[in-house]
Amino acid sequence: MSASGAVGGWEQPPTKRWKQSLVQGSPVLLALLILVTLMVLYIVLFDAQLGRLPGLFEWTSVVNTGLPTALVAVGQSIVVLTRGIDLSVGGIVDVSNAFAATHIHAGAGSMLGWTLVILLYGAGAGAINGALIAYARLQPILVTLATLSIWQGVALEVLPQPGGTIPTTYTNLLANPNRPWGLVAIGAVALLWFVFRRTSLGVNVYAIGNDEYAARAHGIPVRRVKVATYALSGLLAAAGGLFLAASTTGGDPTEGNTFVLTSIAAVVLGGVSFQGGRGSALGALAGAFILTILVNVLFFANVNPLYQPFFQGLFLVIAVLLGSLLGRIIRRSSA
Amino acid sequence: MTKEQTAIEAFNVSRSFGGVHALTGASLTARFGEVQALVGENGAGKSTLIKILGGVARPDSGTIKVRGEDVALSGPSAARALKIGTVFQELTLFPWLTVAENLFIGTEPRGRTRLIRRRLLAARAQDVFDQFAVRGIDPRELAGSLTLAQRQMVEVTSAFLHDPEILLLDEPTSALAEHDVAWLFALVRALRDRDGCVIFTSHRWAEVSSLADRITILRNGTDVATRSQLDESEAVTLMTGRTIDRLYPDRPATPRGTEVMLEAERLEGPRLRGVSFSLHRGEIVGIAGLAGQGQRELFMSLFGVNRVSRGEIRVRGVARRLKGPADAIRLGLAISFVPEDRKTEGLMLGMSVRDNLTLAVLARISRGGVIRRSREVAVATGVIDRLQIRTRNSAFQEVGELSGGNQQKVLIGRWLLIEPDILLLFDITRGVDIATKHDIYKLLAQLAEDGKAVLFYSSETEEIAKLCHRVLVIREGRIAAELAGEAADAESIVAAAIRDRHS
């Protein structure tokens, strides 16, 4: 190296491209790895208990159970990428679930019409969160905690106790118990994510999560982008409520509560950073199914259902620890 | 744009931030085909004016004209639409996006479907780097893993990328080494020769006088003069309102045979390849060399932040293994870094000046674990007076509200309070105005006379030459030369720093 050759320090060999993608993609890879490991574990335990491999019915059930969480988690991850958090997803799932169970009747018009109304409601509810956060400058955790309670109250007003019905056609379309049509929905979400990453909105979400001040200095419409992310999260939560109603063929106005924490857990497992600006919704998607299969694994491992939360917590800590360790090793070896 | 036509003007612009008057009726006129320097002390309002012209801050009163027409800049995009490009003092790169993504944010290459073609980003960025003669930066790397100088260069490149006619640069050179400064100046001159307009701020007078066609001086939020010819001492008087006859104080007498306070022997670690030296009581030893040759790593290792893989550090003759900065502080070492990125390193921006200053000495001002507030305020006020830290209402102002140079003084003040025997001062004058630099130089000489041992690195070679007893020139992690006394002038230091290693 001659003194005039290097700009800003020592000249370094250009980093290998695959190493770069490994550093950036390692959280998603790890989540997929955990997912596959758990699937293998599930197969082994299932076989040990029942003397046969899990069939189409079992896998379809996994897909259908995991799908609502997956949708909510994808929305949550977009909000977390901007350094926010959305607790209200639980309430939005409840309201959409309750409306579905009480209003959707057989007939294409009713099914399509109410599906659209409920999705619009979700987007609107999210936009309200976003407006309060971006324009009134309230803390995301506070705003969405408040709207969580509000929507939970509304849900109880719509459907005071578990009940209601879902037309069989609707269930067969969204959560067919015999055919894994849910995989199509997963594929669609993944595809939409790739598109999202290639839009201005996608770039802006990452920019805001990285450094909000810098984003503003680059002329990014920070407030509008924030409203859009919460609206997306609301929309996906409402979709989650619809899939939940379809797979349980009825409504439960309090079922959404679990989605608050599982969506956050899925985001964490998927390697999306709560510091914002890092990670991928695909990780959250994998995270949601990790949590779903984990329940099955614990069941077939004969864990007393009372102790299930204990093991779930233990698993979560170990998985996240593993993720941060792996990240550190990869970063060091490529530095 | 035509030469000599007015490019951008500010008339009587005022702006306050939470009761602090950053600008009070400042005016500025810049023309096409000229480079205009904006100089003044830290906190004089330079950055605020740049932010207003760049559209990120709005004036409370006053008007802005671009190409002779009144404009209300609603945001940075409005400024960009008027062909105004800005490099702000706080760098605005996104650390977890790649260099290429940063470079093209908002102007990504798109396909027929209007979707961003991410695959093209890196190649396009490499083309841009080739075009602007930027070397040694991989477009696929995360911006956060670049050195500060590299980040600054990416910012500059991205400002030039949008083909600005009016370019605003707020302290663009503070993070750059001499060679990179030449690169930047070539770009600026080329823009001027294309009849563009450039406004820049700098605390280095040599840069101002070599680059600027016109110099505007700001003091306390207003413009006090605009000249096309100005010498340094007159500029200093205009900036500070006082005369500084000699910038550098007398060097304290070279200590002879005093106790060895700090010794390094064949130190190896990140970027260090066998560094040995000794530092005596009452001595100021300079660490010089081109940027990024291991100077920072040396300071980090001596302070216990970086692990030493081989070699020995001796404090007062006793070999020590430093497990962390806490160990170093206990042994009487103090380190002062210029925050690499002013936003993060070292200071708690949301806390008061007092809290930041007394952080390392809480034990001394507490009784039974409870802090005695009156003592704390007295101690903090003492430092504020001694270093002339400019605060609004004494020690209670938030550090984040201070100007960059004053934040740096708070950082230095914190380490002075622990009364260390050995001071490791790393680039403490970077981005500091000339009057403050003068204060820091005097402080340095005073510390040496008081028997402290000082290891001093600066990105300005002149400072090292004028202040230090001995100078160690570092190249590629090794001490390449040691200069002392009269031999240690700026030219010899630079010559030793760039000498080809094969010769």
pLDDT tens-digit profile of A88-103? 999 999 999 999 999 9
Which CATH code fits B6-93+146-240? 3.40.50.300
CB-closest option in A6, A12, A207 to B94? A207
A198 and B115: CB-CB below 8 Å? yes
Q: What is the SS3 assignment for A188?
A: helix
Q: What is the SS3 assignment for B417?
A: helix
Q: Give residue-wise pLDDT tens across range A255-276.
A: 999 999 999 999 999 999 999 9
To the nearest whole angstrom, how far is the Cα of B56 from the nearest Cα of chain A? 6
**A9 vs B: CB within 8 A:** yes
- A contacts of B117 (beta carbons < 8 Å): 198
Beginning with the edge strand found earlier in the chain, give each strand of the sheet holding B478-484 in spatial order: B333-337, B422-426, B453-457, B284-288, B470-475, B478-484
Identify residue A312 by its one-letter amino acid code. Q
Report d(CA B207, CA B214) in Å as an integer. Answer: 13
Q: How confident is the model at residue A21 (pLDDT cuts 50, 70, 90)?
A: low
HEC letters along A201-227: HHHHHHHHHHCHHHHHHCCCCHHHHHH
Which has the closest alpha carbon to A333: B224, A325, B215?
A325
Token representation of residue B269:
């670690």
HEC letters along A102-151: HHCCCCHHHHHHHHHHHHHHHHHHHHHHHHHHHCCCCCHHHHHHHHHHHH
Which residue of chain A is at minimal alpha-carbon distance from B176?
Answer: A8
Exposure letters A9-47 (e unless 16+ CB within 10 A, then b)? bbeeeebeeeebeebbbbbbbbbbebbeebbebbeebbe
**B179 vs A: CB within 8 A:** yes
Token representation of residue B79:
């400024």
Strands B272-280 and B260-269: antiparallel
This model of the complex carries an ipTM of 0.84
Q: Would you list the DSSP string of B371-409? A: E-HHHHHHHHHHHHHHHT---SSGGGSBGGGS-HHHHHH
A211 and B92: CB-CB below 8 Å? yes
To the nearest whole angstrom, how far is the Cα of A81 from the nearest Cα of chain B? 11
| pTM for the model | 0.83
Report d(CA B493, CA B472) in Å as an integer. Answer: 9
Q: Where along chain B do its domains lie?
A: 6-93+146-240, 261-332+420-503, 342-419
Q: Is the pLDDT at A9 greater than 70, yes or no?
A: no
**A17 vs B: CB within 8 A:** yes
- B contacts of A9 (beta carbons < 8 Å): 136, 147, 149-150, 291-292
User: What are the C-alpha distances in Å from B182 to residues B136, B168, B178, B210, B211?
Assistant: 16, 18, 6, 11, 11
**Number of residues assigned to chain A:** 335
HEC letters along B68-105: CEEECCCCHHHHHHCCEEEECCCCCCCCCCEHHHHHCC
What percent of chain A stands above pLDDT 70?
92
With beta carbons less than 8 A apart as the criterion, state whether A292 and A66 touch: yes
B118 and A335: CB-CB below 8 Å? no
- A contacts of B292 (beta carbons < 8 Å): 8-10
Q: Is the pLDDT at A76 greater than 70, yes or no?
A: yes
Interface of B with A in 113-132 (CB under 8 A): 115-118
Give the burial class of B71: count Cβ atoms within 10 A of its Cβ; 0-12 exposed, 13-18 middle, 19 or more buried: middle
To the nearest whole angstrom, how far is the Cα of A139 from the nearest Cα of chain B? 17
pLDDT, mean of residues A35-43: 95
- CB neighbours (10 Å) of residue B19? 9
Q: What is the SS3 assignment for A46?
A: helix
Q: Give residue-wise pLDDT tens across range B412-460.
A: 888 888 888 898 988 888 777 787 788 889 888 988 999 999 999 988 8
Which has the closest alpha carbon to B151: B134, B166, B165?
B134
Residue A13: its pLDDT value, please?
Answer: 41
B96 and A195: CB-CB below 8 Å? no
Report d(CA B189, CA B35) in Å as an integer. Answer: 8
CB-closest option in A7, A15, A213 to B183? A7
Roughly how many angstroms between the first and final C-alpha of chain A, as a whole number? Answer: 20
CB-closest option in A195, A216, A218 to B105? A218
- B contacts of A220 (beta carbons < 8 Å): 105-106
The widest CA-to-CA distance across chain A, in whole angstroms, is 78
Identify residue B173 by its one-letter amino acid code. T
Q: What is the SS3 assignment for B192?
A: helix
To the nearest whole angstrom, how far is the Cα of A332 from the nearest Cα of chain B? 12
Interface of A with B in 39-98 (CB under 8 A): none
Which residue of chain A is at minimal alpha-carbon distance from B94?
Answer: A210
Which has the closest alpha carbon to B418: B293, B333, B318, B291?
B333
With beta carbons less than 8 A apart as the criterion, state whether B10 and B28 touch: yes
Residue A49: its pLDDT value, please?
Answer: 92
CB-closest option in B150, B292, B498 to A3? B498
To the nearest whole angstrom, how far is the Cα of A17 from the nearest Cα of chain B? 7
A219 and B179: CB-CB below 8 Å? no
Report d(CA B209, CA B215) in Å as an integer. Answer: 9
Report d(CA A16, CA B313) in Å as an integer. Answer: 36
Give pLDDT < 50 ranges for chain B: 344, 501-503
Interface of B with A in 40-99 (CB under 8 A): 54-56, 75-77, 80, 86, 88, 90-98
Which has the closest alpha carbon to A323: A38, A81, A26, A19?
A26
Give the burial class of B161: count Cβ atoms within 10 A of its Cβ; 0-12 exposed, 13-18 middle, 19 or more buried: middle
Token look-up 């949590």 returns: A291
Q: Whole-number mean pLDDT of chain A?
A: 90
pLDDT, mean of residues A229-241: 98
Token representation of residue A295:
């329940």
DSSP A163: B
Report d(CA B20, CA B22) in Å as an integer. Answer: 6
CB-closest option in A11, A218, A220 to B136? A11
The widest CA-to-CA distance across chain B, in whole angstroms, is 76
**Domain range B261-332+420-503, CATH architecture:** 3-Layer(aba) Sandwich (3.40)
User: What are the C-alpha distances in Å from B372 to residues A72, B363, B411, B416?
Assistant: 51, 10, 22, 20
With beta carbons less than 8 A apart as the criterion, state whether A186 and A67 touch: yes
B476 and A10: CB-CB below 8 Å? yes
**A213 vs B: CB within 8 A:** yes
A219 and B94: CB-CB below 8 Å? no
Report the residue of B105, B295, B343 to disrupt the A interface, i.e. the one with the largest count of A CBs within 10 Å. Answer: B105
DSSP B485: G
Extended beta strands in B179-213, E state: 197-201
- A contacts of B92 (beta carbons < 8 Å): 211, 213-214, 217-218
Q: Give residue-wise pLDDT tens across range B133-179.
A: 998 899 998 998 888 889 999 999 999 999 999 999 999 988 887 78
Q: How confident is the model at residue A6 (pLDDT cuts 50, 70, 90)?
A: very low
